[in-house]
């Protein structure tokens, strides 16, 4: 049985294809294809909105700021959903940190 494996450019070097078995074909994603990795768009928005131009004292401060930015993003998404009349009675349920 043959399998395809999608591999992101940031995580795996191209030499990986020499290590894979013959029944697995690597499919490499382009290095600048944000539309193929929507999480990158979320991080870009969070960095631009709440996390840019800051200096953190330690690792915990980074984690706290990221969690705070995530909560702000969720609040903004919920606000936009409730404000949108086309959605009607639907509710957005997102796991929070």
Sequential DSSP letters for 39-79? HHHHHHHHIIIIISS---SSHHHHHHHHHHHHHHHHHHHHH
Report if pTM > 0.75.
Answer: no
Cα dihedral sign, 32-41-12-29: negative
Percent of the chain with pLDDT over 90: 29
Whether the pLDDT of residue 42 is over 50: the answer is yes
Mean per-residue pLDDT, 12-28: 68
The whole-number pLDDT of residue 86 equals 53
Write out the two tokens for 65.
Answer: 């700021």
The whole-number pLDDT of residue 22 equals 77
Mean per-residue pLDDT, 50-77: 92
């Amino acid at each position: 049985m043959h399998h395809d494996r999608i591999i992101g450019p940031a995580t795996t070097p191209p030499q990986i294809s020499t290590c894979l078995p013959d029944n697995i074909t690597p499919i490499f994603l382009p290095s600048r294809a944000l539309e193929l990795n929507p999480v990158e768009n979320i991080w870009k928005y969070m960095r631009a909105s709440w996390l840019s131009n800051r200096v953190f004292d330690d690792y915990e401060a980074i984690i706290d700021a990221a969690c705070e930015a995530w909560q702000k993003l969720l609040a903004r998404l919920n606000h936009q959903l409730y404000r949108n009349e086309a959605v009607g009675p639907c509710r957005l349920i997102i796991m929070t940190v």
